[in-house]
Structure 1
Amino acid sequence: MRRTVVISDIHGYYETFKALLNLVQYNAIHDRLVLLGDYVDGGPSSLKVVQHVRALAKLSGVKAIGGNHDDMFLNWLDDRDYIFSPYSTARNGGRQTIRSFCPWYEDESDDERARIFIKQKYAQEVHFLRNLKYFIEDDHHIYVHAGIDPKLSHWSQTSTKDFRWIRGEFHAHDGILPIFKKIVFGHEVTAKLHHSKEFHPWFGKQLIGIDGGIKFGFQLNALIISDDLKYTYSSMESKD
C-alpha cells in the first residue's frame, strides 16, 4: 500500500531530516513525499537542506511548497529585510542560513558581499526557492505551510502572504470550514495547538498541524497517511 509522508519546518536540520526519512523507511519508488516549507533558518545546514529538497523534488512522487522563512531569506537576499526584525537576529535564525551559504559571514557588515556571492554561486538554489508553490491538493487533503483564509468563499483565493503566515484566525475555524478535505499544515509549533508541552502532530476536526518545533530544539515530525486514510507519525530529535 502506498503512503504519503508529510514533513514541514525542517529549518536547516539536514541530518535530522535524513534520519527521519530513514526512520520512516521512505521509499522514493513506492511512497509520495510532501514537504511544506521552511527549509531554512535555525539549524546549521540550510544550504544542504535546500539542495536535498531540490533534488528530491525532481522525483515524480515528491511535491514541495514554500514557507514564510523561505520568503524571509529571499527578502533578505533582495535587500528587502524587515527593518524592525532583521533577518539575521537569533529569533529569525537567518544568520545560520547565511553562514551555510557563506562560511565567512560574520554580521550585517557582510550583507552586501554575501548577497552577491549567494546569487552568483547558488543561482539554481535561489531559483528553486523563488518558484515554490503555495499549496498542494489531492483527493482528500489540502497541504499548505501556514493555512488558508477562513473568511473567503473559496480557500484557493487565500493571499500568498496568508498561505505562508496565517495563524490563529485559521486554527480557530477548525471544524466549521466549508471544506470536505482535511488541511495539513506546519508553521505553528504543535505544542501551542495542544496547549501543552506535546510536540507530536496535532489532529483537529478538519486540521492537522505537524510542526514539531525542531527550530526551537524539539523535534521533526513525519505524518504518514496510508491510502485507506489512516494516520500515523514518527518523530526525530535533533541529529545536527
Structure 2
Amino acid sequence: MSRTIAIGDIHGGLKALIQLLERINISPEDQLIFLGDYVDGWSDSANVVSYLIRLSENVDCIFIRGNHDDLAHQWLETGKMNDQWLQHGGRATLEAYRKFKDEEIEQHLEFYRNMKNYHVDNSNRLFVHAGFTNLHGPEREYHDTGFYWDRTLWETAVSLNPEMENSHHFYPKRLQLFEEIFIGHTPVTRIGEEEPVQKANVWNVDTGAAFKGKLSAIEVKSKKIWQSEPVYQLYRGESGRN
C-alpha cells in the first residue's frame, strides 16, 4: 500500500536521514515529500543533497525549497554569501562543498533549481517550507521568498483559539483554503514539543534536527510518526547550528 510521507528539516544530518528512512522502511510505492532545509548545520550538508538525488532515482520524491537551500543555491550560483548565513549553518555547507568536483556541483545546482516552492496534492493538502501570506492562496503570492521565510502562518495557527470552528467568520482565511498544511522552518522545540505538532489544520514537522532535536517524518493520512535519534548524538564533536 502506497504512503505519502512528509519529512522535516534535515540541515545536513545525513546519518539521521538514513536512520529515519530505515525506520520508515520505505518502498518504491511510497511518495516522500521533503519540506526543505537540506543543508546548513551538520557536516554532511552537501552529502545530503547527493543522497537525495540518488534516492529520487528509485522513489517518488518531491523536494520543497527551504530558506537555507535558497541561500546555499545563491552562493553556488553567484558566490554571494553573508555573515548571517555563515553564522546560521552556512559555514558547514561552504566547507562541505570544498571537497566537491565541478561536475558534482553542477549536478547539485540542477537539484536546487528544480526544487518547488510548494506542492498541493489531490486531497487539497499543502506542503510548503514556511508558509504564505496571500489570503487567496499561494498561487497569488507576491514574492517567492515568503514560501521559505515567512513565519506568520505558523504563528497564526499557534495563537488561534483551538475551540474556534473553521467556519467562524474570524477564522484565518489562509487556513480555510486547504484541508491540511504541512510545514517545517520553525522548530516545535520552541514551544516545548519533541514530535510533529498540529495547530489548527497546520502540521509542523520541524523537530529541531539542526539543534538538539530529532529528524522526523509523518504519514499524512494515518499521522503515523517516525523519528531518528537526536541528531547531535550522531555528530559528536560538531555544534550544528548551536
Distance 2:182 2:41 in 1: 23
CA deviation after TM superposition for structure 1 residue 152, in Å: 2.8
Percent of aligned positions that are identical: 29
In structure 2, runs of 5+ residues without a counterpart are: 161-165, 167-171, 236-242
CA deviation after TM superposition for structure 1 residue 171, in Å: 3.2
2:238 alignment partner in structure 1: none
Deviations 1:32-63 (A, max 9, x none): 11111111000110111001111223346221
1:71 maps to 2:70: yes
2:216 corresponds, among 213, 221, 230, to 221
Q: Is the CA contact 1:38–1:66 (under 8 Å) kept in the aligned structure 2?
A: yes
Q: Is the CA contact 1:57–1:64 (under 8 Å) kept in the aligned structure 2?
A: no
Structure 1 residues 179 and 9: alpha-carbon distance in aligned structure 2, compared to 1, 3 A threshold:
same
1:233 alignment partner in structure 2: 225
Deviations 1:186-210 (A, max 9, x none): 0010123xx22x2210112210000
2:126 alignment partner in structure 1: 142
Q: Is the CA contact 1:119–1:126 (under 8 Å) kept in the aligned structure 2?
A: no
1:157 maps to 2:157: no
CA deviation after TM superposition for structure 1 residue 118, in Å: 6.3
1:180 alignment partner in structure 2: 178
CA deviation after TM superposition for structure 1 residue 25, in Å: 1.1
TM-score, length of structure 2 as denominator length: 0.81
CA deviation after TM superposition for structure 1 residue 211, in Å: 0.4
CA deviation after TM superposition for structure 1 residue 169, in Å: 4.7
1:14 alignment partner in structure 2: 14
Question: Structure 1 segments of 4 or more deviating over 4 A?
Answer: 117-121
Distance 1:88 1:119 in 2: 22
Deviates more, 1:8-17 or 1:162-171: 162-171
Distance 2:35 2:153 in 1: 20
- Opposite residue 21 of structure 2, the aligned amino acid is L
- Opposite residue 76 of structure 1, the aligned amino acid is W
2:202 alignment partner in structure 1: 207
Distance 2:80 2:98 in 1: 19
Distance 2:32 2:9 in 1: 14
Deviations 1:86-106 (A, max 9, x none): 4222xx111111111215xxx
Structure 1 residues 199 and 168: alpha-carbon distance in aligned structure 2, compared to 1, 3 A threshold:
farther
Q: Is the CA contact 1:9–1:37 (under 8 Å) kept in the aligned structure 2?
A: yes
Distance 1:120 1:14 in 2: 21
Distance 1:51 1:210 in 2: 22
Distance 2:210 2:59 in 1: 29
SS of residue paired to 1:9: coil
1:4 alignment partner in structure 2: 4
Distance 1:214 1:118 in 2: 28
Q: Is the CA contact 1:47–1:100 (under 8 Å) kept in the aligned structure 2?
A: yes
User: Over the residues paired in the alignment, what is the CA RMSD in angstroms?
Assistant: 2.0
Deviates more, 1:67-76 or 1:171-180: 171-180
Q: How many residues align?
A: 215
SS of residue paired to 1:216: coil
- Opposite residue 94 of structure 1, the aligned amino acid is G
Q: Is the CA contact 2:189–2:213 (under 8 Å) kept in the aligned structure 1?
A: no
